[in-house]
Amino acid sequence: MTTDAAARARTLLAGTAAAPHDELADIMRILASPDGADHLEAAQHTTGIPEATLRAMMIGYRHGGPAGAHATLAATPAATDVLERAREAVHASRAVGLGTITIDGSTLTDATAGVQIRPGPDGRWYPFTLWRANEWRPAPGACDDPADAFRAARRARAARPLRR
């Protein structure tokens, strides 16, 4: 943890820190550490974020750092034209056009496939899979290309059976 803190301090001093860097990012870094679960109750009390959400954010942090944790908490607002272009890119990349991709807020969701992508605060797209009724969990594969992020979500969905 000391090595990580020193490395982050160097990037902050150099002005090259990846967005976002804030108190929540520091809390998530601690929670995502091997003994982080021991600090869940304190983190919940400090942030007011429910434990289930913090656990999902820990997964998001492990997949995408601070931006992955923030994308798990909420999609970064995106302009309508950005979301439409992302939807077109996803449609064009699909071999079979089954299912409908809906835009709700700043998320693109294929409810039939149980996958979703969200823009993050770092400009990348973050993949998610349906965990339980209306509960989305982060998946590995965040990237700049929404079609690639969608494919990462599909791969993760295939590896993680639907839980009810």
Is residue 99 located within the same domain as residue 49? no
Domain total for the chain?
Answer: 2
Distance of CA 102 to the CA centre of its chain: 18
**Average pLDDT over all residues of the chain:** 88
pLDDT per residue over 6-39, tens digit each?
766 676 677 665 655 678 888 898 898 888 889 9
Of 49, 73, 97, the residue at which a domain comes to its end is: 73
Question: What pLDDT is attached to residue 164?
Answer: 46
Question: Is 164 a domain residue?
Answer: no
Following DSSP, what letter does each residue of 65-99 receive, concatenated?
HHHHHHHHH-PPP--HHHHHHHHHHHHHH-SS--S
